[in-house]
Structure 1
Amino acid sequence: MTPSPGGAEARITLHPGDYEVSAQPVSFTTLLGSCVAVCLYDPVRGVAGMNHFLLTDRRYALQQPVLDSEAGRYGIHAMELLINALLKLGAQRRSLKAKAFGGGNVLGSSCDDPSGFPCVGTANIRFVREFLEKDGIPLVAADLGGSFGRQIAFTNLDYSVLVRKISPLKAREVVQEERIYWRDHLQGGDVNRPDYW
């Protein structure tokens, strides 16, 4: 955690696979390409957190719920880590609210191809919507999809989120970081594997 300029709240920067929570004044920041970040907060108890995750695979049929897929198992794990960390700080599951961001198709590749599989950004978006609906957590704000990357900053002072589109060059750098994370932590193998991107 690093102090912000001008005596404002501290700042926590998240990378793919990270999650953080706090009951102290803080701003959670991250850069998103195909990944999704979910900001969860309990406004009654004043605790909040954010994760930054990528599904392990996009290989599930479009008509199949993502939660029932191999890809969904990783997303569920990422969400439960965040929820459990918030509960340890005193949050109540029934009071949680969510905001979600990311899932961009920043490389402009063909999505939802004729073989019946979605692109990774679409898979991430479908997962987060299905998870929150099934868990009964209201999604009160979202900026998902599109063909651009995002920089987001979520503050637990008032639970607001600042979203800024990032340049195509920066977006390509973000996607490369996501690919490396995917290779090293989720699947192994070649970052340029065609069935991922």
Structure 2
Amino acid sequence: MSAMPPIEAEQLTTVPANEASWADLQAVFGTADAGHCQCQRFKIRGWIWRDSTQEERTAMLQDQTACGDPTAPSTSGLVGYVDGEPAGWVAVEPRTAYPKLRTSRVPWTGRIEDKDDAGVWAVTCMVVRKGFRGRGLTYLLARATIDHARSRGARALEAYPMVTQPGRQITWGELHVGPRQAFEEAGFREITRPTVRRTVMRIDF
């Protein structure tokens, strides 16, 4: 079987999650790693699996995204459609919206930064629906976060992606933060490298 072709920019439409249906978002998440987490890793203050149930995490995501409510004052990310089919999700909000990100060492190692600065937004999770993976969609989603954050008043946008290494397999569960290359090509620059496999990247508006 031949590989599916790369997804072209003109095939992708992204909308704030509150303008997408809940059914579309859940189709993207499916039942794999993202389906279990429901994008709550950086939202829950305690240990995610111990301190919440699947039903609670699902309800939290539904509340945070406000799916199906175009008049909602805020939402927690973007839903991507490829040729009209729900295909991807990217979480992008003010950095202050992520309590657990505040206590993680990755964003803060090697720099002094105001953790309460709501003008700095963060990209924390990317999900590509099965059937659309391996076709460059994460690169397009990374680009989409820039205009979204800037249009909503952000003065800077950060990401905390994975550094992929040749010959080393990375699972989709690990790669939920996105690959470094996707943000680099979108115009983010590396500001710190807290671990061998994680980097902090940023774009200032």
Compare relative contact order (CA 8 Å, sep 6+) and give the higher one, 1 or 2. 1
Structure 1 length-normalised TM = 0.33
Structure 2 length-normalised TM = 0.32
In terms of fraction of residues, the more strand-rich structure is 1
